[in-house]
Structures are given as C-alpha cells and as structure tokens.
Amino acid sequence: MIAALATQGLSKKFGALQVAREIDFTLPVGARHALIGPNGAGKTTFINLLTGAIEPDSGRVTLGETDITYAATHRRVRMGLVRTFQINSLFPDFTPLEAVTMTICEREGIAGRWLSSLTGHRALAEEAYALLEKLGLGDEATRMTRYLPYGRQRLLEIGIALAAKPRVLLLDEPAAGVPERESHELLEAISALPADIAIMFIEHDMELVFRFANRITVLVAGQVLCEGAPAEIAADARVREVYLGSRDHG
Amino acid sequence: MTNTTDPVGGFLRRSQWRPTEIMVWVLVIAAFFVFPDRLVLGSRVLIIAIYALSLDLLLGYGGLISLGHAAYFGTGAYAAGLIANYGWTEPISGLIGAAVIAGVLGYLAGFIIVRLNGVALLMVTLGFGLLISELANSLNDITGGSDGLNMTFAPILGHFDFDLAGQTAYIYSAAFALLAFVFVRRIVNSPFGLSLQGYRENPKRMAQIGAPMAARLRLVNALAAALAGLAGGLLTQTNQFVGLDSVGFERSADTLIMLILGGGGRLYGGLVGALVFLVGRDVFSEANPQYWYFWLGLLLVLIVLFMPQGILGGIDALLARIKRMRKAAP
Amino acid sequence: MAEQLFTLVFNGLAYGILLFIMAIGLSVTMGMMNFTNLAHGAFAMIGGYLAYTVTIQLGWPFLVSLPIAFFGVGAISVFFEAALYRRFYRSPQLSQVLLTIGLALMSVAGATYIWGPQLRLVRMPDYLSGQTSLFGVEVGTYRLFLIIVGAIIALGLVIGLERTRFGAMVRATVDNRRMAQSLGINVNRVFRLTFALGSGLAGLGGALAANFIGGMLPNFPMGYLLVYFLIVVTVGGLGSTMGALLAAVLLGVGDAAVKFYAPHFASFAIYALMVVLLMWRPNGLLGRR
C-alpha cells in the first residue's frame, strides 16, 4: 500500500543548527497522525519541508507515488497536499465567503481567468457557502475576516484548507490560541473531517492528541525519537523524560 | 455588511454597475457641454485617471508598490509619438500599438519583479523608472531629448481632427477612459482579480492554496503597463507632443499621490484623486506655485495619519457610520 | 594614464565617502526598525543649509559649521522621531513611503521659504581649496580633506560598533530585534539614539557636501542624491556598516568612471547596475541571505 505522504532521510541544516536529521516518516491514507515534541524540536520546520517552504539538504518527500522533494509549493497543493498555520494566516479584508470561493477557484483551475466574471461561477460560490455553513460560519460568511473572533478565524483557517479538497492535510497546532469556550466547534470540525483524508497534526495539547490520533511520532531536536500507537507512546519512559509535565496545557 | 438573505447573491452582485458609477460617466459626458472652455483640462484629467487606474490595478488591488510606473506611461507616450513620426499617423491603431509595446515591457519587467520583496522591490521599481527616464534623455536623437518631439496625426476615423478647443481630444480621451474602466472592472471582478486581491491580503498564503502567483503577477504587470502606456499614448496624441516630463520620477510620484488621495482598490479612486490633484494644482499654480509642494506634502502626511483609505475610503466609512446610526435609532 | 586612473579613483573615493557619511544613518534606520525613510535627504539638506547660514550669514569659520550641522540636525531629528516617526514602525511599507515623501515635499517648501530658491554656496576656507600634491599627483585639497574626515568617521563607527557596549546593543538589535529585546536591551532607546546619530551624520555630510555638489538648492531632498543614498543602503545591505561603505565607495568610483568614459549614458549605467546587483543579491552585497 502506497503511503499518502512519506519522507526518507529528510535532513536540513541552518548554519550550524541541524533542524532535521534523517527523518523517515510515513503517513498512510486515512491516517490520524500526531506529531509531538518539545519546543524547538523542529515540528514546524518539518511541515515547511513537506510543503516546500524550505528545501531539504538531503532526503526525499513523496506524495503517493510522486516525488515532490523539489516541487514548488503551489504544485504540491494542486496535488492535494494542504496545510494550515499555527498562527492564523488569513485574508484580513476578505469575507470568509470571498476567501473560500477564491480557494475553490484555485482548486478548479479557473483562478487565472481574467476576463470572465465571477457571476458566471455561481456554483463555486455556493459550494463555498455550503462549506462555511457546515463549519458553523454561515452567519459570518459576509463579515470581514478581521472582525471575527479568534476562534471563528481558526475555523476559517481550517475551512480554507478543506476548500482545497486535500488528500493530505497538515494541521499546525489547530487549537492553538483558541479560548476554551470556542474550541468546541473547532474540535467538532476536526472530528468531522472525511475519513479518506490523511491527516497529520502538530499539537501540544495532549488531551487533543490522545483524542484524535491513532498514531504518534515524537520529534526531538530534529530527529524522530520514537513512533507508535498512543498507548505505547504514553508508556514510553524516554518520551516522559523529554516531556516532563506536558500533560497539561503546553 | 451582513447580507443575511442571500449571501452568495450579494457577493456576486457587487460586480454589477452601481448607480453612482453610472452617474460618474453621465457627468463625464455632461462636462463636455457644461465646461466647453475647460476641455483641455478635462482631457488631461481623464488621461491621468486611466494612468492612475493602471497603478490601482497593481497597488490598490495587488498590493504591489511601484515607484517607477511612469516607465510604462513614458514608453507608451514616446511609442505613440515615434509611430506617428515614422509615418503611421492613424491615431487609434497607433495608440493600440503604443499600449502593446508598453505591455510587453511590463511583461518582461515582471520577471524581475516577481523575484523581489520589500525594499529591494521598491528600489528596483524606482531604478527601473529612472532607467527609462535616463534612456529617454540620452537617446535624444530618437526622443528629441529635452526638446521633445512634435508630430501630427491623421483625423480620427477619417473625420475628426484634433482641434484647438480640445473637443475631439476630450471625446477621444473619454471614450478610451470608459473602455479602460470597463476593462479593469472586468478584471477585478474575475477569479483572477480575486486571487490578485488575495495576494494583496496575504502574499505568503496564496502559494499554500495552490496559486501560481509568479505567472499571475507577470500578467497583471503587463496589463497595468499596457494601460499606463495607453494613457501615455493618449497624452501624446492629444497634445501632438511628447517630452521628458512623460517619464521621470515626478510622474511616478504624482500618480501615486493621486491614487492614495482618491483611495486605492476602489476602481474610481484614481479618477477622484486625479480630479482633485489636477484641479488643485491648477488653482495653486495661479496663487503660489512653490508652496503647492508644501500643501501637497502636508496633505499626504494628513492622509496617512487620518484617512489612509483616501477620499473614497473616507466616504465609505462615513456611509457605514450613518448606516450603523440608522440601525441603532429605530 | 596611470595618473588619470589614480585621479579618477581618488575623486570617486572622495565622493563615495561623502555618500557614506550621508547615507549610513539611513542604512541603520532601515535595517534596525524596518522603517523606509524617504525623507532622509531632508536631514542632509538642513545640514548643508546650516553650513551656509553659519558661514555666510553669521560669518563663522567652516570647521565650526560642521559640528553645528551635526548636533543641530541630530536635535531636529529627535523631535521628528518622537512626534511622528514613532507611530509608523509597525505600519505597512506604503504608509511609511507616503509619510516620508510628504515630509520631504514639505521640507522642500520649507527650505524655499527659509533660504530662498536661489543656489546657496558655503564659504570655504582658503586652506581647503586648490590642489595638494599626493604621491606626486596633484589632487583636490578638499577631496583629500573629505577622504581624511570620512576615514576618521568610518573608523570611529566601526570601532564604536565593535568595541563599545552601545555598539554591541546596536548590532544585536539590527540582527534580531525581538531577541535583543528579550535579552533586556531597551530597543526603543537604542533606536532613538542611533537615529539621532545617523541623522546628525547626514547633516554633517550635507554640510560637507554643500559646495562639493555645486551648492544647495531646495529640491535637494527629492533629487538624485536621495536615489544614491537608497542605492548605497540597499546595495550595501540594510544595517550593514561595512556594506554601506563598500557600496558607497563602489558607487562613487563607478559614478566617476562612467561619467568619464561614457558620460552620455552615465546615469543609465548606474541605475541599470543597481537593478542587476539587487536581482543578484536582493538583500544587498553584505546583507542577510
């Protein structure tokens, strides 16, 4: 069975700092895979290597059967590899409807058309609205993003990623910064994600990790420390050593 | 603004012509009859409005600052002049030719621009504008240098000569202005236009939703350049003259100021800004020419401090506030 | 031939060092606070005009006008930083560009009002005019003076940056502002002092440059010198003193060279070279990669 996403021997150095060291990683189809590790372990760097924001020094990244090690970021997205950001990376003066419609236009490959009016693509806008409704953002669909509360913005962050119809979804700390009372909808949205999408998420909140993950990888100082089912990882002494006291909110 | 009844419809409807917009063009036509002795100024306002519109496409919608946009205006201006001087005096085709030449230049420059950010981008656009300006100066056997070039044009559509009162020029400029606005309107309300504004809002995120921005930016640069070249060519044709003031930093800076004054990203900001700027400068030049710069500078500082969205933005904000007050008071 | 070359390089070096003195403040401002200040030329201009006022209207010696220009402009800059610039450090680049262009325009009008639209020349002492013999070649005395003064200032800056505590704080803040702050460095205070110092140097440079560029005119802040400052800063690399010096000297010598060998295309060549250099190294020759 070909993995949805895989890396072999992925390495990267920034000057003298080795931020990724021979990382072998496999994400099967339909995975719910958590990536955990202390601060500075290189988790976000790893995502950046996967999405093409930075180039590795050595190693390979494959999406399904395709080698994407040096492919441009937007090409990877077209092939179904989508990420969200730890800190919301949204479009402040757009409404959610505009942002999601734009993403759908990209997905459909018509975003380059400069002489065709948006009114001719009503179906795409309606798909966008339907997605927003499903996420509970229907009422705010035409409010400017900058005026939405942070939790709603976080939902939009995921919504934009979903609009791209990913086959592999990389969530960078999806619950980060979301206040307790707003995280409910977010968690619902995450659990409702389609089963055939392969998902890898970085999280510090161990409650979330054990709730959603069926497999965990522990990354320390750019290297994979261990990998396995949640119960194994929880029992692993090395992990506990590295992670003293992190069962509370990180 | 929440449209609770039909959000999708509301979203799509914004690309329709609004009454205020139609009013603008009615006024443009009316001005022909109401101000028969100010038609020369009127043409200039319309031409500069096209130029400002082209900058709006880059800056207001795309978020790309260019301190050298006059390079394209000047290229179009000189191209139109040279085409006529080398024998092709038919104005409309000459004008299209000038726009195409400017557009090609813009497309080529796009390869440089997409690789740069921040200060480097600012400097390269500035340098590019200065480069073209210096080129116009140095190649003075072709461009006429500081003396400029004079030329004559055949009558438009075989009939209409450029008359001294500026009537033909006004109608000619107004027609192209309308075409330019319809064209840009279409672009900004297209999927491409949406992605352009997305780039303005968050350049880094666009790649992460699958947008090949490099190619799109080259295209928008080419389109903006062609429009600027069209404006430049219009100026040359209506004046039967082209000189060094068509290129040069002042030309770039003036238009930037006009656009900010009117409000970027609102399609008509350039027109409003051009009108206020050119009329204002006319008024001040009679009174106190050297202090025009003082008031202009002060205006700029005040806009940045208090009204960064320009006149149109200020009007929008005012209308929004009135709407809120109406909602509050039953 | 060798003599011609020597004179060319010598003149270029003098011009370059002058550009360095005027532009270094801009480099640090833009490198440290990411603040695009297109009004920097106004500071140099005020320095030049102060030199005129001091030497012509007050009749004092030229060398006295130099510290007056330095401290005077420095003081004025402190006022502007506190009253206006401070609010825009986090603003988008366009706002900074527009704000500072507006201020530059106002300074042009202000200069016209205070000193009039005519060309103003500084009164130079006799001992700085004419020619001096250097290694058997006749060189301009004033240029030699510029090189010496410039070298002293450049050396002072480098030593100050490398050896003093304040210099270390400056370097840290330029390198990584957030990190510097978390190390306890009062970033705002460091910036204010550096801004004042840099603006003072611009003023000093303006006073030195006044006659050298042919005299003071009110449109100075919007002229080609502003472009040259920006070239020095961006090609050198924001916040890099050595980079600014290197770029300034290259620009000075390059300017002298093209004006000599291909005067017709001089400016074109300079701008074209700048575009090429920035494409090759968008962060400047010695800037961050």
Indicate the range of A67-76, A83-92, B248-257 predicted with least confidence.
B248-257
CA C143 to CA C149: how far, in whole Å? 10
CA C155 to CA A43: how far, in whole Å? 45
B208's CB contacts (< 8 A; 6+ apart) are A51, A73, A74, A77, A82, A83, A89
What value does the mean pLDDT take over residues A91-110?
94
CA A135 to CA A192: how far, in whole Å? 10
Note the pLDDT tens digit of each residue in B86-98: 888 888 999 999 9
Find the closest chain C residue to B261 by CA distance: C98
Indicate the range of A133-147, A171-185, B13-27, C196-210 predicted with least confidence.
A171-185
Classify the phi-psi angles of B263: left when phi > 0, otherwise alpha if psi is within -120 to 50, otherwise beta.
Answer: left
B186·A117 Cβ contact <8 A: yes
Give me the pLDDT at residue C240, please: 86
Q: Alpha carbon A191 to chain centroid distance?
A: 14
Residues of chain A with C-beta less than 8 angstroms from the C-beta of B201: 90-94
* Strand B149-150 versus strand A223-228 pairing type: unpaired
B247 has a chain C CB within 8 A of its CB: no
Q: pLDDT band for position A39 (50/70/90)?
A: confident
**Is the confidence at residue B3, as pLDDT, over 70?**
no
C278·B123 Cβ contact <8 A: yes
C101·B300 Cβ contact <8 A: yes
B141 has a chain C CB within 8 A of its CB: no
Question: Among B189, B201, B216, whose Cβ lies nearest the Cβ of A93?
Answer: B201
Highest mean pLDDT among A148-157, A172-181, A220-229, B49-58: B49-58
Give me the pLDDT at residue B258, please: 94
Helix (H, G, I), strand (E, B) or coil at A26: strand
Note the pLDDT tens digit of each residue in C177-211: 888 888 888 888 888 899 999 999 999 999 999 98
Q: First and final CA of chain C: distance in angstroms?
A: 40
Interface list for B 114-133 with C (CB within 8 A) = 115-120, 122-124, 126-128, 130-131
B46's CB contacts (< 8 A; 6+ apart) are B28, B170, B173, B174, B177
Give me the pLDDT at residue C289, please: 54
CA C19 to CA C83: how far, in whole Å? 28
CA C187 to CA C173: how far, in whole Å? 7
Give me the pLDDT at residue B330, please: 63
DSSP string, B159-178: TB---TTSHHHHHHHHHHHH
Give me the pLDDT at residue A250, please: 44
Residues of chain B with C-beta less than 8 angstroms from the C-beta of A138: 7
B223·A77 Cβ contact <8 A: no
B296·C105 Cβ contact <8 A: yes
Best of A63, A106, A113, A169 to mutate (most B CBs within 10 Å, chain B)? A106
Burial degree of B12 (CB within 10 A; 0-12, 13-18, 19+): buried
CB C83 within 8 A of CB C206: no
Residues of chain B with C-beta less than 8 angstroms from the C-beta of C271: 127-128, 130-131, 134
What are φ and ψ of residue C232, in 5° steps?
A: -55, -45
B219 has a chain A CB within 8 A of its CB: yes
Question: Among A82, A89, A119, whose Cβ lies nearest the Cβ of B15?
Answer: A119
What value does the mean pLDDT take over residues B16-43?
89
Residues of chain B with C-beta less than 8 angstroms from the C-beta of C88: 304
pLDDT, chain B, mean? 89
Of C269, C146, C167, C126, the C-alpha closest to C213 is: C146
Q: How far is B62 from chain A (nearest CA, A)?
A: 13
Helix (H, G, I), strand (E, B) or coil at B179: helix
CA quadruple B292, B293, B298, B300: dihedral sign: positive
- DSSP summary character for residue A23: E
Q: Burial code of B220-251, b = ≥16 C-beta within 10 A, e = fewer?
A: bbbbbbbbbbbbbbbbbbbbebbbbebbbbeb
B116·C283 Cβ contact <8 A: no
Interface list for C 113-132 with B (CB within 8 A) = 113, 117
A111·B191 Cβ contact <8 A: yes
Pair of tokens at residue C27: 């480099």
CB C174 within 8 A of CB C239: yes
Helix (H, G, I), strand (E, B) or coil at B114: coil
Residues of chain C with C-beta less than 8 angstroms from the C-beta of B115: 279, 282
What value does the mean pLDDT take over residues A69-87?
93
B198 has a chain A CB within 8 A of its CB: yes
Task: For chain B, give the percent of residues with pLDDT over 70.
Answer: 97
Q: What is the ipTM of this complex?
A: 0.89
Note the pLDDT tens digit of each residue in B153-194: 888 887 778 777 788 899 999 999 999 999 999 999 999 999
Question: Among A103, A111, A122, whose Cβ lies nearest the Cβ of B12?
Answer: A122
CA B63 to CA B220: how far, in whole Å? 12
Give me the pLDDT at residue B4, please: 56
pLDDT, chain A, mean? 89
Q: How far is C28 from chain B (nearest CA, A)?
A: 14
Residues of chain A with C-beta less than 8 angstroms from the C-beta of B194: 98, 101-102, 105, 111, 118
Report which of residues B330 and A145 the model is more confident about: A145
Of C38, C19, C158, the C-alpha closest to C96 is: C38
Q: How far is B80 from chain A (nearest CA, A)?
A: 26
Give me the pLDDT at residue B1, please: 46
Interface list for B 79-98 with A (CB within 8 A) = none
Residues of chain B with C-beta less than 8 angstroms from the C-beta of C98: 256-257, 260, 300, 303-304
Residues of chain B with C-beta less than 8 angstroms from the C-beta of C93: 65, 118-119, 122
Give me the pLDDT at residue B282, please: 83
Q: pLDDT band for position B198 (50/70/90)?
A: very high
Q: In what order do the strands lie in the sheet with A58-63?
A: A17-27, A5-14, A58-63, A66-67
Question: Among C88, C275, C282, whose Cβ lies nearest the Cβ of B127?
Answer: C275
Question: Among A51, A110, A117, whose Cβ lies nearest the Cβ of B15?
Answer: A117
CA C102 to CA C84: how far, in whole Å? 12
Classify the phi-psi angles of A214: left when phi > 0, otherwise alpha if psi is within -120 to 50, otherwise beta.
Answer: alpha
| DSSP-assigned beta bridge partners for residue B315 | none
Question: Among A78, A91, A116, whose Cβ lies nearest the Cβ of B190?
Answer: A116
Q: pLDDT band for position A245 (50/70/90)?
A: low
C272 has a chain B CB within 8 A of its CB: yes
In this prediction the pTM is: 0.90
What value does the mean pLDDT take over residues B282-310?
84
Q: How far is A116 from chain B (nearest CA, A)?
A: 5
Encode chain C in three state secondary structure: CHHHHHHHHHHHHHHHHHHHHHHHHHHHHHHHHCCCCCCHHHHHHHHHHHHHHHHHHCCCCHHHHHHHHHHHHHHHHHHHHHHCHHHHCCCCHHHHHHHHHHHHHHHHHHHHHHHCCCCECCCCCHHHCCEEEECCEEEEHHHHHHHHHHHHHHHHHHHHHHHCHHHHHHHHHHHCHHHHHHCCCCHHHHHHHHHHHHHHHHHHHHHHHHHHCCCECCCHHHCHHHHHHHHHHHHHCCCCHHHHHHHHHHHHHHHHHHHHHCHHHHHHHHHHHHHHHHHHCCCCCCCCC
B190·A98 Cβ contact <8 A: no
Report which of residues C123 and A76 the model is more confident about: A76
- The subunits that touch chain B, with at least 3 C-beta pairs less than 8 Å apart, are A, C
Residue whose tokens read 């702050």: C181
| DSSP-assigned beta bridge partners for residue A219 | A224
Question: Among B8, B191, B204, whose Cβ lies nearest the Cβ of A105?
Answer: B191
Question: Among C109, C271, C274, whose Cβ lies nearest the Cβ of B297?
Answer: C109
**Is the confidence at residue A191, as pLDDT, over 90?**
no
Q: Burial code of A16-48, b = ≥16 C-beta within 10 A, e = fewer?
A: eebbbbebebbbebebbbbbbbbeebbbbbbbb
**Which residues of chain C are modeled with pLDDT < 70?**
288-289
Give me the pLDDT at residue C179, please: 85
- The subunits that touch chain A, with at least 3 C-beta pairs less than 8 Å apart, are B
Task: For chain A, give the percent of residues with pLDDT over 90.
Answer: 54
Question: Among C98, C106, C278, whose Cβ lies nearest the Cβ of B298?
Answer: C106
C105·B112 Cβ contact <8 A: no
B301 has a chain C CB within 8 A of its CB: yes
CA C173 to CA C190: how far, in whole Å? 8
Do A and C touch, 3+ Cβ pairs within 8 Å? The answer is: no
B127·C278 Cβ contact <8 A: yes
